[in-house]
A and B are shown apart, each in its own frame.
Chain A
Amino acid sequence: MTDDSGHSGFHYSEQDVQREVTELESRSTTAARIFDLRRIIGGLFVLYGVIVTITGITDSQAEIDKAQGININLWTGIGMLLLGVFFLVWLWLRPVPPAEEAGR
């Protein structure tokens, strides 16, 4: 048996992969154009947090009783709100370095 990695004259070596991927990396636009996910997570969780917190504040005793006497909407809402605020504050304190934004 021989150690040929192909029959139709196609030989794919690590150098080929390196060359091909490096070339694609140089033309890649993801780093430059992708939006910051922290803004989306922050926005969604602040919105969810507000909705669920308000639900908690207006919950009737029956709903609180169903949840074992805990106002679970209030607590979950506050937790989600804090998570959303955390992501927005992180985004505000550490925006994407300008080097990555400038590549377009």
Chain B
Amino acid sequence: MLNYRVQNPTDAPVSPTSLAAGLRLPTNGLDYAILAIYFAVVLGIGFAARRSVRTSLDFFLSGRSLPAWITGLAFISANLAATEILGMAANSAQYGAYTVHWYWIGAIPAMVFLGLVMMPFYYGSKVRSVPEMLLLRFDRAAHLLSSILFAFAAVLIAGVNLYALAIVVEALLGWPQWVAIVVAGAFVLAYITLGGLSSAIYNEVLQFFVILAALIPLSVLGLKKVGGWDGLVDRLTATHGHNFTTAWGGTGIGSANPLGANWLTIVVGLGFVLSFGYWTTNFAEVQRALSAKNLSAAQRTPLIAAYPKIFIVFLVMIPGLVAAALVPNIGRSGSGLQYNDAIPYLMSQLLPNGVLGIAVTGLLAAFMAGMAANVSSFNTVFTTDIWAKYVVRGREDAYYVRFGRLITVIGVCASIGTAFLASSFSNIMSYLQTLFSFFNVPMFVVFVVGMFWKRASAKSGFWGLLAGTVTAMVNYFVLYRKGVIGIPTDQGANFVSAIAGFVAGAVVMVIVSLFTAPKPEAELEGLVYGTRSPGMAEPPAPGDEAWYRRPALLGWGAVILAALCYIPFSF
């Protein structure tokens, strides 16, 4: 069985798990009515967004016209898929307060870096995708390799999302797996084919609020049940030890902790390599910012998303910790519950009909949004980067809109196929997930080296990408899995593999660059730090000078807030 902890590649599968039986929720007609209303609204958004699509830019990037609050909330929502919510609650039930690292150090600095440093290059150069940026900075080899890997990974992750949804829906609502897979797939297919990225983004924003409405009551009731935060800490300290409720306890180099990582691998592996790779080069995220209406809005997209990200950790960690306090042997035999069951377990124990319907709706919405984010980035990369550049070039724009719709249908069908495949060959699937989880790391190294070192040659991109990918995988699948190097857990190995991939990619890029011709300076305008592209010359929109819209202030504010959040968890 698959683990949910896959959506965010900074979070690799830990152990094969499934939902325990006996979690069937006492849903009634009211809960189903709430769910039905949501599905109707989702479809309505698709139909209503349809008339806004005229050009391929409308279909794939919402015409680069959306306001920052919408792209910002969609940015956080694309990450807040159900696999992330259930997986991070599971993480908390298993490892305790270490979960905060995935948010405060493993997300905020990277999101701020994307907004302040990288977005002027992404948005200003007017690229339509992350691989297209590699085409401009490097060459076709790097472009094609990254496009194909991304397209595969996106379909795979969309399929895994669908399969995870089917398991959860089967356990909670009793629907057969194939019904859940086909129904959710059909809805995602319908609204993206109709309205393109606009309807994906609008639905993500809606999902953000529904998931908050589901998680806030659950966290409040969970805390009440265990006697508030103090009661929770007391109970966990008694059963799991003091370190369980601290962020850094037991992470000294050489000391043992359940995470199997020390402060250095947490800061460098998770906080720098994995997190920057995911947040700054994963097109499913970056696409949301590229659809913003101007450079200021694009820069603010990840910064606006950073603030909810700082606090969402409490809404997934508290249910996980409460589950660990109520069922101290959760995740081990005898408890009847897996770590992944933390949130469904509390839902069944605490929520009355009504709020229960909201919570079920929120979970399903989160699964669909996670899948839709992957589908909407897949169709963009496949159409603009693969099809329009290598297969059928130079056709009229309407052709590519039609092709984008067609490839959306094909992509969703492939995801549905992947989901069915996953239900019979789950070991292969979890292997593939780990494989692709390393894909962002070399992307990131190629990006930063290319962005900050103008001498990096056109050829170095491809070789850096390849070397980084291969090294990370060899380290994980050969050195770690075969026991050549001793790392206590999969999570720890994941961090170390990411660092190895990063270093290897950087070294290979430097070597290849020294032996190949540099790219002419004229072709690097706006692609390398210190240069400006013509597109960045556009004047700021009226109102964007307001102090609360200044990217630097928003960005540094988020970093400082995240650092302050660490204080209560550090002693």
Residues of A within 8 A of B (CB): 1-6, 10, 12-14, 17-18, 21-22, 24-25, 27-35, 37, 40-41, 44-45, 47-48, 51-52, 55-56, 59, 63-64, 66-70, 72-73, 75-77, 79-80, 83
Contact = CB atoms under 8 A, between A and B. Distances in A.
Contacts of A1: 459, 515-517
B52 interface: yes
Given A3-B516, A5-B458, A30 B125 contact: no
Contact of A80 (B213, B519, B520, B525): B213
A55 B350 contact: no
A11 to B, nearest CB: 9
B353 interface: yes
B221 A68 contact: yes
A102 to B, nearest CB: 14
Contacts of A76: 213, 216-217, 354-355, 358
Nearest to B49: A34
Contact of B140 (A5, A28, A68, A73): A5
Contacts of B224: 68-70
Given A41-B209, A44-B206, A68-B221, A30 B65 contact: yes
B166 to A, nearest CB: 26
* A-B pairs with lowest CB-CB distance, top 3: A30-B63, A28-B63, A55-B354
A28 B523 contact: no
B128 interface: yes
Interface string B254-288: 00000000000000000000000000000000000
Contact of A29 (B58, B216, B519): B58
B37 A44 contact: yes
A70 to B, nearest CB: 6
B139 interface: yes
A60 B44 CA distance: 35
A16 B523 CA distance: 12
B481 interface: no
B83 interface: no
A51 B354 contact: yes
Contacts of B353: 55, 63
Contacts of A32: 52
Contact of A28 (B65, B127, B209, B389): B65
Contacts of A34: 49, 52, 62, 65, 198
B55 A52 contact: no
Contacts of B125: 14, 17-18
A31 B48 CA distance: 14
B52 A24 contact: no
Interface string B513-548: 001111110010111000001110000000000000
14 contacts: A3-B457, A3-B520, A18-B126, A18-B533, A24-B57, A27-B397, A30-B65, A30-B66, A30-B198, A34-B62, A40-B44, A72-B351, A73-B352, A76-B217
Contacts of A69: 224
B293 interface: yes
A56 B354 contact: yes
Contacts of B126: 17-18, 21-22
B202 interface: yes
Contact of A33 (B33, B52, B128, B526): B52
Given A5-B458, A29-B58, A44 B41 contact: yes
A27 B221 contact: no
Contacts of B53: 29-30
A32 B198 CA distance: 13
Interface in B194-231: 198, 202, 205-206, 209, 213, 216-217, 220-221, 224-225
Contacts of A3: 457-459, 516-520
Contacts of A40: 41, 44-45, 202, 206
Contact of A73 (B66, B293, B354, B523): B354
A40 to B, nearest CB: 7
A17 B352 contact: no
A66 B352 contact: yes
Given A40-B202, A47-B37, A52-B355, A24 B56 contact: yes
B552 interface: no
Interface in B58-78: 58, 62-66, 70
A12 B352 contact: no
B286 to A, nearest CB: 15
B563 interface: no
Contact of A83 (B139, B209, B519): B209
Contacts of B58: 28-30
Interface in B309-342: none
Contacts of A2: 517
Given A28-B63, A40-B206, A75 B52 contact: no
B63 A17 contact: no
A28 B213 contact: no
